[in-house]
Amino acid sequence: MALLEVDDIDVAYGNVQVIWNVSLSVDEGETVALLGANGAGKTTVLKTVCGDLAPTAGEIRYRGESVGDWTQEEVIADGVVHVPEGREIFPASSVEENLELGSYVDRSGMDERMEQVYDVFPRLEERRGQAAGTLSGGEQQMLAIGRGLMSDPDLLLLDEASLGLAPVLVDDVFEAIERINEQGTTVLLVEQDIYNALRVADRGYVLKSGHIELSGTAAELAGDERVEESYLGA
Protein backbone atom coordinates (compact mmCIF):
# COMPACT_ATOMS: atom_id res chain seq x y z
CA MET A 1 0.00 0.00 0.00
CA ALA A 2 1.19 3.52 -0.75
CA LEU A 3 2.35 5.28 2.39
CA LEU A 4 2.77 8.56 0.51
CA GLU A 5 0.99 9.67 -2.65
CA VAL A 6 1.82 12.94 -4.36
CA ASP A 7 -1.01 13.44 -6.83
CA ASP A 8 -0.55 15.90 -9.66
CA ILE A 9 0.77 18.84 -7.65
CA ASP A 10 1.76 22.31 -8.79
CA VAL A 11 3.92 24.42 -6.48
CA ALA A 12 4.83 28.10 -6.72
CA TYR A 13 6.95 30.61 -4.82
CA GLY A 14 4.75 33.69 -4.85
CA ASN A 15 3.53 33.85 -8.43
CA VAL A 16 6.48 31.95 -9.88
CA GLN A 17 5.49 28.35 -10.51
CA VAL A 18 8.37 25.87 -10.24
CA ILE A 19 6.57 22.47 -10.07
CA TRP A 20 4.06 21.25 -12.66
CA ASN A 21 1.83 18.15 -12.44
CA VAL A 22 4.19 16.14 -10.27
CA SER A 23 2.92 12.74 -9.16
CA LEU A 24 4.86 10.12 -7.25
CA SER A 25 4.19 7.44 -4.70
CA VAL A 26 6.19 5.70 -2.01
CA ASP A 27 5.07 2.32 -0.69
CA GLU A 28 5.56 1.26 2.88
CA GLY A 29 9.04 -0.22 3.28
CA GLU A 30 10.46 1.21 0.06
CA THR A 31 13.41 3.47 -0.56
CA VAL A 32 12.57 5.85 -3.41
CA ALA A 33 15.01 8.30 -5.01
CA LEU A 34 14.06 11.69 -6.41
CA LEU A 35 16.77 12.71 -8.86
CA GLY A 36 17.43 15.75 -11.03
CA ALA A 37 19.78 18.62 -11.81
CA ASN A 38 20.31 21.72 -9.67
CA GLY A 39 17.14 23.77 -9.68
CA ALA A 40 14.95 20.93 -11.00
CA GLY A 41 12.63 21.26 -8.00
CA LYS A 42 13.64 18.35 -5.75
CA THR A 43 13.86 20.35 -2.53
CA THR A 44 10.60 22.10 -3.36
CA VAL A 45 8.81 18.74 -3.71
CA LEU A 46 10.20 17.51 -0.37
CA LYS A 47 9.20 20.75 1.36
CA THR A 48 5.71 20.39 -0.04
CA VAL A 49 5.45 16.80 1.14
CA CYS A 50 6.36 17.77 4.69
CA GLY A 51 4.01 20.73 4.80
CA ASP A 52 6.54 23.58 4.63
CA LEU A 53 4.96 24.63 1.34
CA ALA A 54 1.38 24.21 0.15
CA PRO A 55 0.67 23.00 -3.39
CA THR A 56 -1.35 25.39 -5.54
CA ALA A 57 -3.02 22.40 -7.21
CA GLY A 58 -3.19 18.67 -6.63
CA GLU A 59 -3.16 16.67 -3.44
CA ILE A 60 -0.79 14.89 -1.08
CA ARG A 61 -2.04 11.82 0.74
CA TYR A 62 -0.35 10.05 3.63
CA ARG A 63 -1.75 6.66 4.62
CA GLY A 64 -4.58 7.38 2.20
CA GLU A 65 -5.62 10.65 3.81
CA SER A 66 -5.26 14.11 2.35
CA VAL A 67 -2.74 16.18 4.29
CA GLY A 68 -3.71 19.57 2.89
CA ASP A 69 -3.25 21.60 6.06
CA TRP A 70 -0.74 19.57 8.03
CA THR A 71 1.05 21.53 10.73
CA GLN A 72 4.68 20.81 11.59
CA GLU A 73 3.56 19.11 14.82
CA GLU A 74 1.07 16.90 13.00
CA VAL A 75 3.64 15.91 10.42
CA ILE A 76 6.05 14.73 13.11
CA ALA A 77 3.32 13.12 15.21
CA ASP A 78 2.21 11.19 12.10
CA GLY A 79 5.71 9.80 11.76
CA VAL A 80 7.23 11.94 9.00
CA VAL A 81 10.69 13.42 9.45
CA HIS A 82 12.37 15.82 7.03
CA VAL A 83 16.15 16.17 7.16
CA PRO A 84 16.61 19.36 5.13
CA GLU A 85 19.47 20.47 2.89
CA GLY A 86 22.35 21.88 4.89
CA ARG A 87 23.01 20.77 8.41
CA GLU A 88 20.64 22.40 10.81
CA ILE A 89 22.14 21.30 14.08
CA PHE A 90 22.62 23.24 17.30
CA PRO A 91 26.37 23.98 17.25
CA ALA A 92 26.82 24.87 20.92
CA SER A 93 24.98 21.78 22.17
CA SER A 94 26.61 18.38 22.46
CA VAL A 95 25.96 15.51 20.08
CA GLU A 96 23.84 13.82 22.74
CA GLU A 97 21.82 16.99 23.45
CA ASN A 98 21.14 17.39 19.72
CA LEU A 99 19.88 13.82 19.57
CA GLU A 100 17.66 14.36 22.62
CA LEU A 101 16.11 17.37 20.85
CA GLY A 102 15.05 15.01 18.06
CA SER A 103 12.79 13.23 20.55
CA TYR A 104 11.03 16.28 21.86
CA VAL A 105 7.59 15.19 20.67
CA ASP A 106 7.74 11.85 22.43
CA ARG A 107 10.48 11.11 24.93
CA SER A 108 9.35 7.56 25.72
CA GLY A 109 11.83 5.05 24.39
CA MET A 110 14.39 7.80 23.84
CA ASP A 111 17.35 5.92 25.31
CA GLU A 112 16.64 2.88 23.19
CA ARG A 113 16.42 4.96 20.03
CA MET A 114 19.66 6.71 20.91
CA GLU A 115 21.33 3.30 21.09
CA GLN A 116 19.91 2.53 17.64
CA VAL A 117 21.29 5.81 16.27
CA TYR A 118 24.71 5.05 17.77
CA ASP A 119 24.47 1.60 16.26
CA VAL A 120 23.94 3.12 12.79
CA PHE A 121 26.52 5.90 13.38
CA PRO A 122 29.21 4.63 15.79
CA ARG A 123 31.17 7.82 15.12
CA LEU A 124 28.48 9.82 16.90
CA GLU A 125 28.76 7.65 19.98
CA GLU A 126 32.51 8.27 20.16
CA ARG A 127 31.77 12.01 20.10
CA ARG A 128 28.63 12.06 22.21
CA GLY A 129 29.90 14.79 24.55
CA GLN A 130 31.47 16.98 21.88
CA ALA A 131 29.91 20.30 20.83
CA ALA A 132 28.09 19.63 17.57
CA GLY A 133 29.61 22.72 15.92
CA THR A 134 33.08 21.19 16.24
CA LEU A 135 32.13 18.00 14.37
CA SER A 136 33.41 17.57 10.84
CA GLY A 137 30.96 18.30 8.04
CA GLY A 138 30.29 14.61 7.50
CA GLU A 139 29.77 13.98 11.18
CA GLN A 140 27.34 16.91 11.31
CA GLN A 141 25.41 15.34 8.45
CA MET A 142 25.26 12.06 10.36
CA LEU A 143 24.01 13.97 13.38
CA ALA A 144 21.29 15.66 11.33
CA ILE A 145 20.09 12.26 10.09
CA GLY A 146 20.48 10.72 13.56
CA ARG A 147 18.41 13.47 15.11
CA GLY A 148 15.68 12.76 12.55
CA LEU A 149 15.73 9.09 13.55
CA MET A 150 15.20 10.02 17.21
CA SER A 151 11.47 10.47 16.61
CA ASP A 152 11.28 6.95 15.19
CA PRO A 153 9.87 8.02 11.81
CA ASP A 154 7.76 5.87 9.52
CA LEU A 155 8.77 8.05 6.57
CA LEU A 156 12.17 9.72 6.37
CA LEU A 157 12.63 12.52 3.82
CA LEU A 158 16.33 13.09 3.14
CA ASP A 159 17.53 16.07 1.11
CA GLU A 160 21.05 15.61 -0.28
CA ALA A 161 22.31 13.57 2.65
CA SER A 162 25.63 12.92 0.95
CA LEU A 163 26.32 16.39 -0.44
CA GLY A 164 29.85 17.63 0.10
CA LEU A 165 31.07 14.52 1.89
CA ALA A 166 34.33 12.72 1.20
CA PRO A 167 33.82 9.39 -0.62
CA VAL A 168 34.43 7.33 2.50
CA LEU A 169 31.74 9.25 4.38
CA VAL A 170 29.38 9.05 1.41
CA ASP A 171 29.68 5.28 1.70
CA ASP A 172 28.93 5.48 5.44
CA VAL A 173 25.84 7.60 4.86
CA PHE A 174 24.42 5.34 2.14
CA GLU A 175 25.15 2.29 4.27
CA ALA A 176 23.27 4.00 7.09
CA ILE A 177 20.32 4.72 4.78
CA GLU A 178 20.16 1.04 3.87
CA ARG A 179 20.22 0.02 7.52
CA ILE A 180 17.57 2.58 8.47
CA ASN A 181 15.34 1.17 5.74
CA GLU A 182 16.01 -2.42 6.82
CA GLN A 183 14.92 -1.45 10.33
CA GLY A 184 11.49 -0.54 8.95
CA THR A 185 11.65 3.12 7.97
CA THR A 186 10.39 4.08 4.51
CA VAL A 187 12.76 6.51 2.79
CA LEU A 188 12.30 9.19 0.14
CA LEU A 189 15.70 10.60 -0.74
CA VAL A 190 16.73 13.51 -2.92
CA GLU A 191 20.17 13.05 -4.42
CA GLN A 192 22.71 14.39 -6.87
CA ASP A 193 24.67 11.17 -6.48
CA ILE A 194 22.75 9.11 -9.04
CA TYR A 195 24.96 6.06 -8.72
CA ASN A 196 24.64 5.62 -4.97
CA ALA A 197 21.00 6.70 -4.87
CA LEU A 198 19.99 4.07 -7.42
CA ARG A 199 22.13 1.50 -5.64
CA VAL A 200 20.12 1.83 -2.38
CA ALA A 201 16.73 2.72 -3.89
CA ASP A 202 13.99 0.37 -5.08
CA ARG A 203 12.56 2.91 -7.50
CA GLY A 204 13.22 6.43 -8.65
CA TYR A 205 11.84 9.51 -10.34
CA VAL A 206 13.77 12.08 -12.36
CA LEU A 207 12.65 15.69 -12.19
CA LYS A 208 13.54 18.09 -14.98
CA SER A 209 12.58 21.77 -14.83
CA GLY A 210 9.74 21.04 -12.42
CA HIS A 211 8.26 18.10 -14.34
CA ILE A 212 8.66 14.36 -13.85
CA GLU A 213 10.79 13.35 -16.82
CA LEU A 214 11.33 9.66 -16.10
CA SER A 215 10.43 7.06 -13.52
CA GLY A 216 11.07 3.39 -13.03
CA THR A 217 12.77 0.77 -10.95
CA ALA A 218 16.29 1.59 -9.81
CA ALA A 219 17.63 -1.00 -12.25
CA GLU A 220 15.70 0.53 -15.17
CA LEU A 221 16.90 4.04 -14.35
CA ALA A 222 20.50 2.94 -13.74
CA GLY A 223 20.56 1.57 -17.29
CA ASP A 224 18.89 4.60 -18.89
CA GLU A 225 21.28 7.18 -20.34
CA ARG A 226 18.54 9.82 -20.20
CA VAL A 227 19.00 9.94 -16.41
CA GLU A 228 22.52 11.30 -16.71
CA GLU A 229 21.48 13.55 -19.58
CA SER A 230 18.85 15.15 -17.36
CA TYR A 231 21.69 16.35 -15.11
CA LEU A 232 23.40 18.18 -17.93
CA GLY A 233 20.84 20.97 -17.74
CA ALA A 234 17.59 21.87 -19.46
Ligand X SMILES: Nc1ncnc2c1ncn2[C@@H]1O[C@H](COP(=O)(O)OP(=O)(O)OP(=O)(O)O)[C@@H](O)[C@H]1O
Helices (H), 31-166: 42-49, 72-77, 95-101, 110-120, 122-126, 137-149
Helices (H), the chain: 42-49, 72-77, 95-101, 110-120, 122-126, 137-149, 167-182, 194-200, 218-222, 225-229
- Name the residue nearer to ligand X (CB basis): 132 or 190: 190
Count of residues binding Mg ion (CB under 5 A)? 2
Residue 18 engages ligand X in binding (rule: CB under 6 A) = yes
Crossing angle between the packed helical segments 137-149 and 110-120, to the nearest 10 degrees: 140
- Name the residue nearer to ligand X (CB basis): 19 or 99: 19
CB neighbourhood size of 178 (10 A):
16
Residue 40 engages ligand X in binding (rule: CB under 6 A) = yes
Residue 24 engages ligand X in binding (rule: CB under 6 A) = no
Q: How far apart are the first and last CA of the chain?
A: 34
Q: Looking at 35-43, 108-116, 141-149, 223-231, which segment touches ligand X (CB under 6 A)?
A: 35-43
Q: Looking at 33-41, 178-186, 198-206, 219-227, which segment touches ligand X (CB under 6 A)?
A: 33-41
Given Mg ion, ligand X, none, residue 58, with its beta carbon under 5 to 8 Å by kind, binds: none
Nearest Cα to Cα of residue 34 among 170, 178, 161: 161
Count of residues binding ligand X (CB under 6 A)? 11
DSSP 8-class letter at 30: -
CA atoms within 13 A on the CB side of 105: 18
DSSP 8-class letter at 131: B
Q: Looking at 41-49, 64-72, 168-176, 214-222, which segment touches Mg ion (CB under 5 A)?
A: 41-49
Residue 192 engages Mg ion in binding (rule: CB under 5 A) = no
- Name the residue nearer to ligand X (CB basis): 13 or 195: 13
Residue 43 engages Mg ion in binding (rule: CB under 5 A) = yes
Given ligand X, Mg ion, none, residue 185, with its beta carbon under 5 to 8 Å by kind, binds: none
Minimum distance between the CB of residue 38 and ligand X, rounded to whole angstroms?
Answer: 3
